Amino acid sequence: VVVVVAVVVVAAAVVFRIDGNVNNSSSNNNNSVAMWTNVVRGIAWGPSLCILIAAIYYAIVLSPERLLNKDTKDFLRNDYCTIQDFTADESLMTNGFVLFKDFTPKLDLQNLVKRINNISYATRYVCGASDIQPEECMDVGEDIEARYPGMIRKLYNRFDIWRKKGYISKLKMDEWGELRVKGSEFIAITAWRYPFSLLKGSWEYAMGPSLSKGLPRVVSLFKGWFTKKTGVPIYTGYHGWHTDGPDPMGGRYHKLFVMVQKTAVDANAASTAESSKERDKKGGVLLRHSNLRVIPKALDARLFEFIHHNRHLLKPAWRYTGLTSIAMDWFMEQIGCTIEMDVGDALFFRENVRHRTQDMVVSRYAMILDIQ
């Protein structure tokens, strides 16, 4: 916002000053000096206004003291994410998701990599782009069960365990029938080398169901189209905070997010403090980047409290200036958890769990299964 306002203000100031002085330049040779003096003044005035706007944004939106009530402040002092065991089955009931470590059998993982390698780069770069995703990125349930039988068998066995524990019925996950894999898609993250990697991230893409959600969505769609046509990966696969449901008619799916491949692009983008061996080994920088961030269902009440405490931000005057979105994203970052995943790990999450791409530091391919 600050950069855009700065460009507009400076451009307007320059054009206004030039036009105003050029019209009178015929009668005074000193007008050219005055013109450029005014241009300098306009350039100085623009950034000053932007600094003021940024200060107002921070004071109104980003100040925790203004946004959080006392109970939420006290809660955030205890880091919920670090004290939870997300690999336990009980996490499904409490948080809405479960992390499966070393979940994908070696043979199935090899078949997943082969499947990705059979897709051209221009196509795989946009795998996961919901609106423009090519069919090559997707599979149907029968094909998935045939190609990756070990992984699907382990998943269904886990469903049986959850059913015996009563989790499935309590969460109404079998409301439309027995849980089965319906389809899948590959999701690609294409990292850029440093310093170009600084241009990628949450600010560049707004998750939304249609073009009417705003300019960032239009830009993302254009980048996807350009990537498909040229093979140049300006589309890099970031998804902002969103949910995949719920839908009372059963139109959305629970998800199994399977990490298939991770690759560090370069040392600067990944980490400046680790050796190449530490970057590439299991548990190194590849583990810590390009994962998912999720909001545990146990913290949904905190999100609703935040909305109630700051309900003035829901008024049109706030929404249309972007302040509401900034405030909501800021708070979701405070309560979100990063789920670090190695290749072969999988994350099962219910359809109403809020999640987003963590970052785009390392390139990765994942497959996400639709389950209903």
Pairing of strands 337-339, 181-189: unpaired
Which of 244, 290, 238, 246 lies closest to 265 in space, CA to CA? Answer: 290
Q: List, for residues 292-303, the tens digit of each pLDDT value.
A: 999 999 988 888
Phi, psi of 240 (to 5 degrees): -80, -175
Share of the chain above pLDDT 90, in %: 34
Q: Which residues pair with 313 in a beta bridge?
A: none
286 or 34, which is more confident: 286
Task: Give the Cβ contact number of residue 222 at 10 Å.
Answer: 13
Q: List, for residues 71-119, the tens digit of each pLDDT value.
A: 777 777 678 888 899 999 999 999 999 999 999 999 999 999 999 999 9
pLDDT band at 241 (very low <50, low <70, confident <90, very high): confident
Q: Tokens for 339? A: 């789920």
Pairing of strands 337-339, 355-357: unpaired
Cis peptide before 296 (omega within 30 of 0): no
C-beta of residue 68 within 8 angstroms of C-beta of residue 61? no
Task: Give the Cβ contact number of residue 128 at 10 Å.
Answer: 23
Q: Which single residue is written with the structure tokens 């719920």?
A: 246
Which of 126, 125, 127 lies closest to 138 in space, CA to CA? Answer: 127
C-beta of residue 17 within 8 angstroms of C-beta of residue 23? no
- Judge whether residue 252 has pLDDT over 50: yes
The pTM assigned to this predicted structure is 0.77
SS3 104: coil
